[in-house]
Structure 1
Amino acid sequence: MTNHNAQLAALVGSRICHDLISPVGAIGNGLELMQMGGSGGAELALVHDSLANAQARIRFFRLAFGAAGQEPVAEAELRRILSDLAISARQRVHWQVGGDVPRAQARLVFLAIMCLENALPFGGEIAVTRDGSQWTITGKAQRMLIDEKLWEALNRSGADVTPSEVQFALLPLLLEEEGRRPRTRIGQNEIVILL
Structure 2
Amino acid sequence: MTATSATDLAALLCSRLCHDMLSPVGAMSNGLELLASETDPEMRQNCMELLEQSATISTNKLKYFRLAYGAAGGFGDRVGIEEPKDLIQSLAADKGRIEVNWALASGTLAKPAVKVLLNFAQIALDALVRGGTLDVGAEVRDGACEIVIRAAGTKIAFDEVLGRALDGKLASDELTSRTAPAHMIHLLAQECGGGLQYARGDDALVLGAVLPEPEGMIG
CA–CA separation in structure 1 for the residues paired with 2:134 and 2:50: 27
- What are the Cα deviations for residues 142-162 of structure 1, in whole angstroms up to 9, with x where unaligned? 111131222122111555232
Where 1:96 maps in the other structure, the secondary structure is: strand
Give the whole-Å Cα distance in 1 for the aligned partners of 2:45 and 2:131: 29
2:78 is the alignment partner of 1:66: no
CA RMSD of aligned residues (A): 3.2
Call closer, same or farther: CA 1:102–1:95 in 2, change over 3 Å: farther
Q: Structure 1 residues 44, 81: closer, same or farther in 2, change over 3 A? A: same
Cα distance change, pair 164–56 in 1 and its aligned pair in 2 (3 A): same
Q: How far apart in 2 are the matches of 1:125 and 1:151?
A: 21
Q: Distance in 2 between matches of 1:84 and 1:119?
A: 16
Contact 1:52 1:84 in 2 (8 A): no
Gaps of 5+ in 1: 32-37
Instruction: Give the Cα separation in 2 of the matches to 1:83 and 1:154.
Output: 23
Match status 1:143 vs 2:144: no
Does the alignment pair 1:107 with 2:115?
A: yes
How many aligned residue pairs are there? 176
Does 2:53 match 1:56?
no
Q: Does 1:120 find its partner at 2:128?
A: yes
1:9 Cα deviation after fit = 3.1
Counterpart in 2 of 1:34?
Answer: none
Distance between the aligned counterparts of 1:92 and 1:167, measured in 2?
A: 24
**Deviation readout 1:41-84 (Å, 9 max, x if unpaired):** 11100110011011111111111101263312223322332333
| Pairing 1:131-170 to 2, within 5 Å after superposition | 131=139, 132=141, 133-156=145-168, 159=171, 160-170=174-184
Larger Rg: 2
TM-score, with structure 2 as normaliser = 0.67
Q: TM-score, normalised by structure 1?
A: 0.74
- Paired with 1:58 and 1:93, the residues of 2 have a C-alpha distance of 21
Mapped contact 2:146–2:208 kept (Cα < 8 A): yes
**Identity across matched positions, percent:** 24
Q: Give per-residue Cα distances to partners, 1:90-133, cap 9 Å, x unaligned.
A: 44443421412222211111111122223222223221112422
Task: Say if 1:124 and 1:140, in contact at 8 Å, map to a contact too.
Answer: yes
- Secondary structure of the residue that 2:199 maps to in structure 1? strand
Larger strand percent: 2
Contact persistence 2:103–2:136 (CA under 8 A):
yes
Which one of the candidate residues 69, 94, 97 is aligned to 2:101? 94
Structure 2 portions without partners, runs of 5+: 33-40, 210-219
- Compare 54-63 and 160-169 and name the one that shifted more: 160-169
For 1:35, the equivalent position in structure 2 comes to: none
